[in-house]
Amino acid sequence: YTQGDGSLNARTFLGFLLQAQAQALAALYITSNVYGHKHTSRTGDPGSMRSDAFVVYSAIMMVQVPVVLMASHTVTAINQIAIWGTAALYWLAMLAYCAFPEGDQYYVMQRLLEGPAFFL
């Protein structure tokens, strides 16, 4: 769904909403398959929230790369480098971050979202 003629009509808007819903369901599906077994005990351990946040962010990255490829009208070599380079850079940054023992890789999103500056 694109704005080919520049107008945002109801059909285009509904298409964007349905595409966002499908992306959210795909990220939820990936996350629940990776860490769904942890929530059977219902202990309420906040540590599981940290690990889930990392997996959810990774799932969002895995969903967004194909979506950007499908939504692009023209995919050039520069587009390919930018799209796949973003995913590779994310994974390399996470590997580098995990290399430090004092770094808690599961705490990334919780640290990012706790400050009000993130939402501004």
pLDDT tens per residue across span 70-85? 777 777 888 888 888 8
In 44-59, which positions are buried (b, 16+ CB within 10 angstroms) versus exposed (e)? Answer: eeeeeebbbbbbbbbb
CA 114, chain centre distance (Å) = 18
Q: What is the mean pLDDT of the chain?
A: 69
In 86-120, which positions are buried (b, 16+ CB within 10 angstroms) versus exposed (e)? Answer: eeeeeeeebeeeeeeeeebebbbbeeeeeeeeeee
Q: Which tens digit of pLDDT belongs to each residue from 49-102?
A: 555 666 677 777 777 777 777 777 777 888 888 888 888 887 787 777 666 655
**What CA–CA distance (Å, rounded) separates 50 from 98?**
14
**What CA–CA distance (Å, rounded) separates 66 from 56?**
16
Domain positions in the chain are 10-119
Please determine, for residue 26, whether its predicted confidence score (pLDDT) is greater than 70. Answer: yes
In the block, residue with structure tokens 């009000």 = 116
The reported pLDDT for the residue numbered 51 is: 58
**What CA–CA distance (Å, rounded) separates 22 from 70?**
14
